[in-house]
Structure 1
């Protein structure tokens, strides 16, 4: 795992919890597999910019908020 993936994953998890959205709901709304959301939040995978923007849209925030 690299530091950037871990940071982005933790920010996504933080924003998801602030929005009171489950991983299942985030996955459904962003059209991403639920297990992949878990891997993103744990920093196990590098996501594409497209997925970052889709997640940010669901979380109603700017994608830049999810970046360091």
Structure 2
């Protein structure tokens, strides 16, 4: 997987997290609180500025009430 492909997956993930978070009426801070993460980290994730660990993908998915796999596929 090339660097560009890895970044594209981060963009897909971040975009899905932002869309679902907004659909749920959650702020970045509220999502971070539920997921046990820092608010600024959620912002980095949504802007595809960080490489998210599998553990944090799971925390975010659980906090949003969706499967981790669903956050990694583009629609």
Q: Counterpart of 2:13?
A: 8
Q: Does 1:36 align with 2:71?
A: no
| Aligned residues: CA RMSD | 1.1
The gaps in structure 1 that reach 5 residues or longer are none
Q: Counterpart of 1:25?
A: 30
TM-score (norm 2): 0.85
Structure of greater relative contact order (alpha carbons < 8 Å, 6+ residues apart): 1
Provide the C-alpha distance between the structure 2 equivalents of 1:11 and 1:22, rounded to a whole number of angstroms: 14
TM-score (norm 1): 0.93
Runs of 4+ deviating beyond 3 Å: none
Provide the C-alpha distance between the structure 2 equivalents of 1:11 and 1:38, rounded to a whole number of angstroms: 13
Q: How many pairs align? A: 68
The gaps in structure 2 that reach 5 residues or longer are none
Provide the C-alpha distance between the structure 1 equivalents of 2:24 and 2:70, rounded to a whole number of angstroms: 14
Larger Rg: 2
